Structure 1
Amino acid sequence: MSGSVYRGPLAGVASLTINGEPWSIVGELQWQPSGLVNETLKGQSSVEGFSSMPGQGFIQATLRDRRDRKVSSFQGASGLEVVAVLANGKVITAVNAWHVEAINLNTQEGTFEFHVESDTVTEDTV
């Protein structure tokens, strides 16, 4: 066996801040880095190559509603900095992000879906 195998946490616990303020993640934290997105270009006789366009990244999670903050303030918000720290030590950052989609609150669980997109979503490793 060549190389080293990491034996620490790989998944599970995560934290999230929005503009430096911590929020409780209930589940389903997901992210996608920003960067180029390639699309295959096909003609009737062959695959001719590809086009490359800039693509936005995202961070999304199911968050817990809080008594001290208005969730409605995120609806249509922009200029957000969202930082997620993952169990494996990676730090995912969305800079100057904007909230997309409508916010729906689940009052039985006290949760809502949070989804931001940005042209700058980066992954830092430790």
Structure 2
Amino acid sequence: MSNTTNRIAGTAYLTVDGTTYTVAGDFEYDPSSVTRETLSGQSGVDGFSEKPKPGQIKATLRDMRGLSLAAINAMDDVTVVAELANGKTIIGRNMWTVDPQGSKAEDATNPVTWEGPSVTESMDASLQQLGDTMQGAVIREPGLSTDPISIRLSAQSLERRDSSSNRSRG
């Protein structure tokens, strides 16, 4: 079995309302919820304006047997889920397709864009744990010991303090 620890790109698995679609390439997502425009006048930069913006997921699908462009064009209020090589899961809820989709006969591909009120990204547990470890390694509070014995003793003290305060409340 190959080691995929360092893999950060190259594969994407896509489902829409539980139906799996073959991704030919060009997967993109945008979880942004606002768009900003700089406002400047003759006297300088004044600030910015901010407007709501839909989340967006784009993929180029392979036009395989069973793929219905009419069904894709009719998508409304669907959940789009993508699993990426880097361990992220992208979820778009209450999405709809925009721009009519067409098929390219030369390579049997269909670019599809979904938009909706919410696109979120989450990491798998191992990536989250790595991120937490890295954050703990970088952010240090002054005066805290990093010695494992001191940390264990501190944790035990906190547990005892918690259990004694719970007993006094009960």
TM-score strictly above 0.5: yes
Gaps of at least 5 residues in structure 1 are 1-6
Q: Which has the higher helix share?
A: 2
State the distance in 2 between where 1:8 and 1:100 align.
Answer: 35
1:74 is paired with a residue of what secondary structure? helix
Q: Deviations over 1:24-52 (max 9, x none)?
A: 10000011113122211111111111112
Q: Kindly, what percent of the aligned residue pairs are identical?
A: 38
Q: TM-score, normalised by structure 2?
A: 0.66
Q: Which has the higher strand share?
A: 1
State the distance in 2 between where 1:70 and 1:25 align.
Answer: 15
Gaps of at least 5 residues in structure 2 are 125-170
Aligned length: 120
State the distance in 1 between where 2:16 and 2:105 align.
Answer: 21
Q: Which residue of 1 aligns with 2:112?
A: 114
Q: Which residue of 2 aligns with 1:59?
A: 57
> CA shift at 1:76, angstroms?
4.0
State the distance in 2 between where 1:100 and 1:36 align.
Answer: 19
Contact 1:19–1:80 under 8 Å retained in 2: yes
For residue 88 of structure 1, the aligned residue among 86, 89, 100 is: 86
Q: Identify the structure with bigger relative contact order (alpha carbons < 8 Å, sequence gap 6+).
A: 1
Q: Which residue of 2 aligns with 1:44?
A: 42
